[in-house]
Chain A
Amino acid sequence: MRALIIRGGRVIDPANKRDEVGDLYIADGKIAEKSAIRNQKSEIEEIDARNLIVAPGLIDVHVHLREPGFSHKETIESGARAAAAGGFTTVVCMPNTSPTADNPSTIAWIKDRAAAAACVNVLPTGAISKNLAGEELAPIGSLAQAGVVAVTDDGQCVQNHEVMRRAVEYARMVGVPVLDHCQDYNLVGNGVVHEGYWSTLLGLPGWPAMGEEAMVMRNILLAELCDHHIHCQHVTTAGSVRLIREARARGVKISGEVCPHHIALTDEAIQNFDTNYKMNPPLRSPTDVDALLEGIADGTLSVLCSDHAPHADFEKEVEFDAAPFGIIGLETELGLFLDLLVHKHRKIDIARLIAMYTIEPAQLLRVDAGTLSVGARADVTLIDPELEWTVRVDQFQSASRNSPFDGWKIKGRAVRTIVGGETVWKL
């Protein structure tokens, strides 16, 4: 039996409403009582956590690990290392792989690969529709049995409301939430940047806010109709925030997540046509950023995530129209959110930020993670909220380098990541 004592940190465990300076005990890979350690005879490792925050292992509900099929961008192994370096003990990976994760055998392959190579917990999602085509339902029941924590067509969006309605009803039956990348194809067309001042100035095809809001509204209506939870991925517009806020006030089972780039940057960043500012949904206007901050502050938006989307340099280094959407985010998201939400804009306190990365996603996905309850798996993240550091993409664990935040000076980051009682990464 092995034991670990994390001493003198500020232990924040939102699930148990705990926020105090104290010690955390771990035995046999689980959170333990102090008494269990006192009876220990074998080796006891101690970690000095003074001036650090001791949090439940953080969960990122939205990452692309690119395997199977795109291992030149990222692998489950390298993506997991990037997660660990960012303070994450659990990541939820999206199904737009090759082959698409729309069948149980691909889910089994991902789980096997994760068990063999990943240093953090990898939870797969399955597709809503076959090949993410939005036409025929994927075998959602079989996917659930294979162990997916949610279904989503992320990167795509089911356009046919009838198909989406049946998917939500079916997902309710098998007990998995539905995550949706909200994008109306007709309204968005070939848009590559937010439709507004900068798209007008630069002549780039615009991606209108309404293209997201129309689908957020659709999802609210379906969540009501089907009485099942729909989670709107990477919410970016003021209108979406307002719609979700109103629906939640009525008790609709709708929720939304935010990515750091959508509050750290605005569409002004695209003016030099740098494809590291090209993502879907796009960077929005300052008004939208303000609305997202308010949505985070009042709880309308309850989950933080990265939409970690690795692409190789040669894929991103092309014409703006031709470049793939997306940026990597696992190794910068916690620092950016701490810096922006807690230090700079003071929208939420650090305990709420931790809740948005732990208990909120755990409840959304109905997974056993995100707490420091005695007996829980000992996934722990140590955070230094005051540590000032400079982002250096060339030092990232991720296999890709497509981040717009290279060189940014940020306050706050994870300094140690513990999965099942074992330190998988430390600064």
Chain B
Amino acid sequence: MKHKEQNSSAASIMDAAAIRRALRRIAHEIIERNRHLANIVLAGIPSRGVEIARRIAAFIRGIEKAEVETGVIDVAMHRDDVGTRAELPVVRASKLPVPLEDRTVIIVDDVFYTGRTVRAAMDAINSFGRPARIQLAVLIDRGHRELPIRPDYVGKNLPTATHEQIQVRLQETDNEPDAVWLERE
């Protein structure tokens, strides 16, 4: 874990086992809260949200022997800060099953912070159609909301200061072992 070695002020928050437990718990909560699993779409926000959605779907399959659809919801073109950044976020194609009517779309992301990304994701979903409901699942909720949005499923609540940074690594997206840690600048 070269990051921790390089940065002495980094504090480990979750290791691979803790991440696995958190996502399995979220899978259980989704099963409990949603009567018809066939109506669910787990829509990940690229790139780690997509991987987290895939893992939650795998847990649901393992627990309930039921297939849950996954999708990709890219928010770059729905952001409200275009033109203020020197470097643009890379846009990727969104992929959602249509029609969305009567379906529950669960937005999945790694870190939940100001809420602006999720707002953009909801806008993006609405451009595909009108789902019956939208829910939100996140691995880490670090607080500091700027919009009235709250998550339905949380892997870990982690009160932070604004100058701190949450670092998430997943094997499939980062080619590094699963880990979450906190960095102070």
Direct contact of A and B (CB under 8 A): no
